[in-house]
């Protein structure tokens, strides 16, 4: 343990164009997070948008995952300066902000991750992020190791996607296939051709802006296709889905009448 600012290996790898394979985590539990971290994913998304996490449960998962060579990324329920500040203070270094539709929103989120005069992040000296004040020059250097990733998942966002991606301080764009499908008029059909075409166009725009592109793809064929199309941070599974499928399949082997 040193008093250096913790290195953000995920952000550094993406900046070099290295593929980062991730797991989407909704179980909201430190033991579950530890089991998943032990698999060796490059990154794990701890979700608070649709999962029963709060800052205490996120904190417990951060402490657990930190013991493994896996980077945690956290998705708050919504992106605003207060939510971002609280997560950064407990030591979150990678944020995934849902529902970002405009470059103005993106700029406000960048500002939320930076201390004045550059931004509006509130200053606290006694936080886990600075190892309780022991990290030398935390206030000056914190922003270098913070990764800000924005979710593009509405029709409006698609029309602004390149502008959003070009905002200085945005480290990558992540497509939310389910919400995108819904807003395009195909609720529950993210694999539909029309949605896939929009996803491919989104990938092209983000790549044109020179930023990393990521996506959630629990279907292996789709995940491999997205990687071929240039996605460099791909969540290839969801913890709840893996558990639900494995438990149903196990029981089915013993009770033949049981449906998966
Ligand atoms: O729109 C999406 O897809 C996402 O943002 C991911 C979902 O929220 C995730 O919970 C899987 O359903």
CA dihedral 96, 101, 106, 112 (to 10 degrees): -60
Check whether 259 has a pLDDT greater than 90: no
Residue with tokens 């936080």: 127
- Look at ligand 1, atom 6, and give the residue with the nearest C-alpha: 176
From CA 144, how far away is CA 171, in angstroms rounded?
A: 11
What's the pLDDT at 252?
Answer: 96
**pLDDT tens per residue, range 190-208:** 999 999 999 999 999 999 9
What's the pLDDT at 256?
Answer: 77
Quick check: is 7 catalytic? no
- Look at ligand 1, atom 8, and give the residue with the nearest C-alpha: 50
Domain boundaries, the chain: 9-243
**pLDDT tens per residue, range 20-77:** 999 999 999 999 999 999 999 999 999 999 999 999 999 999 999 999 999 999 999 9
- Look at ligand 1, atom 10, and give the residue with the nearest C-alpha: 50
Q: Is the CB of 187 within 6 Å of ligand 1?
A: no
**pLDDT tens per residue, range 230-256:** 999 999 999 999 999 999 999 999 997
The fold of 9-243 is: TIM Barrel (3.20.20)
Q: Is the CB of 153 within 6 Å of ligand 1?
A: yes
- Look at ligand 1, atom 4, and give the residue with the nearest C-alpha: 176
**Nearest atom in ligand 1 to 151's CA:** 5
> In the structure encoding, which two tokens stand for residue 220, read together?
């292996």
In testing the pocket of ligand 1, which one of 26, 151, 179 has its CB within 8 Å of the most ligand atoms? 179
In testing the pocket of ligand 1, which one of 176, 235, 241, 244 has its CB within 8 Å of the most ligand atoms? 176
What's the pLDDT at 130?
Answer: 97
For 80-135, strand residue ranges (E) read: 94-97
From CA 197, how far away is CA 133, in angstroms rounded?
A: 48
> In the structure encoding, which two tokens stand for residue 223, read together?
């995940």
What's the pLDDT at 209?
Answer: 98
From CA 177, how far away is CA 159, in angstroms rounded?
A: 16
Q: Is the CB of 212 within 6 Å of ligand 1?
A: no
In testing the pocket of ligand 1, which one of 45, 50, 174 has its CB within 8 Å of the most ligand atoms? 50
Check whether 3 has a pLDDT greater than 90: no
Residue 216 CA from chain centroid, whole number? 9
177 Cα: distance to centroid of ligand 1 (angstroms):
7
What's the pLDDT at 193?
Answer: 97
Sign of CA dihedral 259, 250, 235, 100: positive
Q: Is the CB of 99 within 6 Å of ligand 1?
A: no
Q: Provide the ipTM.
A: 0.96
- First-to-last C-alpha distance (Å) of the chain: 46
Q: Is the CB of 179 within 6 Å of ligand 1?
A: yes
238 Cα: distance to centroid of ligand 1 (angstroms):
10
Residues 6+ apart with CB under 8 A from 51: 25, 26, 27, 28
């Amino acid at each position: 343990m040193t008093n250096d600012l913790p290195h953000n290996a995920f952000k550094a790898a993406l900046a070099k164009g290295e593929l980062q394979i991730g797991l989407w985590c909704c179980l909201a539990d430190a033991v579950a997070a530890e089991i998943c971290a032990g698999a060796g994913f490059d990154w794990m998304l701890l979700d608070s948008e649709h999962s029963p996490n709060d800052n205490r449960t996120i904190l417990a998962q951060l402490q657990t995952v930190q013991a493994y060579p896996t980077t945690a990324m956290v998705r708050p329920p919504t992106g605003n300066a207060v939510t971002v500040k609280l997560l950064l203070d407990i030591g979150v270094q990678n944020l995934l902000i849902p529902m970002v539709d405009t470059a103005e929103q993106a700029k406000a989120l960048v500002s939320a991750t930076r201390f004045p005069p550059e931004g509006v992040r509130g200053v606290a000296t006694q936080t886990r992020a600075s190892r309780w004040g022991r990290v030398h020059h935390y206030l000056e250097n914190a922003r270098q190791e913070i990764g800000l990733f924005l979710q593009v998942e509405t029709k409006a966002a698609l029309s602004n996607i390149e502008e959003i991606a070009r905002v200085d301080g945005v480290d990558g764009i992540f497509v939310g296939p389910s919400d995108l499908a819904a807003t395009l008029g195909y609720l529950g059909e993210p694999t539909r051709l029309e949605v896939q075409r929009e996803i491919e166009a989104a990938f092209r725009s983000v790549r044109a802006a020179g930023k990393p592109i990521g996506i959630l793809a629990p279907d292996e064929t789709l995940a491999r296709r997205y990687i071929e199309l240039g996605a460099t941070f791909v969540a290839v599974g969801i913890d709840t889905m893996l558990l639900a499928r494995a438990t149903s399949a196990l029981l089915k082997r013993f009770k033949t009448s049981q449906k998966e």
